[in-house]
Amino acid sequence: HCGHLNHLSTSLVPEVSRRGIPFVYTLHDFWLLCPRGQFLQFVGEDSNDLWPLCDGQEDHKCAKHCYAPRMGSGAAGSTKDLQYWSAWVGERMRHIKHIAGHVDLFISPARHLQDRFVSAGLIPRARVTYLDYGFDRARYAGRQRTAGEPFTFGYIGTHKESKGVQHLIEAFAMVTGTPPPFLRIFGRPMAQSTAALGRLAARLVKDHEKRVEWRGEYVNDRIV
């Protein structure tokens, strides 16, 4: 069973298959479909859009919006950069399709993720099943809320735009109530990203110093 192949080796899959061992792959993101993994472009059509979304993988589009601007020659309008990276992405996607063919079963913890892979043609619906992440409900036994306590929203994870933390802060800024709600953000700080999120909260959330709490990393056993 594999949770991701990034930083490992895609050659693991056919090697396991060659030995007659069934291979199960749990999907966690779009890495098999998108070379950058998140369907977020490095440079979009609108220069004011800091996190441009991508509506689907295409070799030339990947080269234009994600690779040539970051790892090209820097020459304005260079067609060689686009040609090189288009070919590189194309080869990468052909290789991934070959690798995916050796996986016996894909598990998707989200139906949207499942549907995205099927509609893209990378995985036949018969070889991907939906199975939500598990939660230890025993930890909630005997737990009760304190009457009248403020409603608290929470986030646990990386401080990255691909996680949508900025949208959580934007939505939280529009929530009102008595007593005022709180937002607690857990996760290891990420320099520029965390600082930018802090500035966003300061700009949008009233009394952000009191209502938005940055809790840092957590110990899994102490979540509840």
If one compares 124 and 73, the residue with the highest pLDDT of the two is 124
35-92 pLDDT per residue, tens: 999 999 988 888 778 788 999 999 999 999 999 988 877 676 678 999 999 999 999 9
pLDDT at 223 over 70: no
- Check the CA dihedral 29-30-35-37 and report its sign: negative
Strands 152-156 and 182-186, sheet pairing = parallel
Give the per-residue pLDDT at 77: 67
20-44 pLDDT per residue, tens: 999 999 999 999 999 999 999 988 8
165-184 pLDDT per residue, tens: 999 999 999 999 888 999 99
pLDDT at 224 over 90: no
Query: What's the whole-number mean pLDDT along residues 141-158?
Result: 87
Give the per-residue pLDDT at 91: 97
C-alpha to C-alpha distances, 25 to 16, 104, 132, 134, 215, nearest whole angstrom: 12, 8, 14, 16, 33
